[in-house]
Chain A
Amino acid sequence: GQQVQQSPASLVLQEGENAELQCNFSTSLNSMQWFYQRPGGSLVSLFYNPSGTKQSGRLTSTTVIKERRSSLHISSSQTTDSGTYLCASRNMGYKLTFGTGTSLLVDP
């Protein structure tokens, strides 16, 4: 079936450290969208990245379709980066399939 596997499930950083979050997706899926979710909050789209590398401030997303993987790199982490990061992969049509998320805690 269509699957998206996200790792790690949780991560604790000291402020200033970098983080690398990974998503792997099954062969029937393509492209990737990354979201950020505050505790109890909505999903904020970080990147829609069907392939290649995109950067926004301290965040960089890289998707390699032929290897069925996408990564989100956070550089120089801040306490305000704490929350849950979700990836979702699209099939050929309408649907996003979500991973179960990475819970990130950045300590001061």
Chain B
Amino acid sequence: EAAVTQSPRSKVAVSGGKVTLSCHQTNNHDYMYWYRQDTGHGLRLIHYSYVADSTEKGDIPDGYKASRPSQENFSLILELASLSQTAVYFCASRGPSYEQYFGPGTRLTVL
């Protein structure tokens, strides 16, 4: 079965600080995604990648950067964390069948 892991599982960050969220998949999938989930907004796509060393903007990329150093790893970087970035972040991977598999999520609180 598909396996997507995320670290850390929860994090408290200071406003203005740098935050890095990591995602690792063992599925050999090409596509990887970062979403954020907020109450009342469902899940929204931040960044995605379809190949190592390349990332693409999703629907809400402002304030976020992404990095895909290898097929297995995909990071989300908040260079200057803000209060509005408090949310739950999910990573997902997708294989050739178009079905997406999600990690357990990271709960980020920015104070």
Contacts and interface: CB of A to CB of B under 8 A. Distances in A.
Interface of A: 31, 33, 35, 40-45, 48, 50, 86, 88, 90, 94-96, 98-101
A42 B104 contact: yes
A86 B50 CA distance: 24
A100 B40 contact: yes
Interface of B: 31, 33, 40-45, 48, 50, 58, 90, 94, 97-105, 107
Contacts of B40: 100
A86 B58 contact: no
B101 A95 contact: no
Contacts of A33: 99-100
Contacts of A44: 102
Given A42-B102, A90-B98, A101 B42 contact: yes
B58 A95 contact: yes
Contact of B42 (A31, A48, A100): A100
Nearest to B35: A98
A95 B42 contact: no
A43 B90 contact: yes
A48 B97 contact: yes
Given A44-B102, A96-B100, 6 more contacts: A40-B107, A41-B105, A96-B33, A98-B43, A98-B44, A99-B42
A48 B98 contact: yes
A12 B31 CA distance: 37
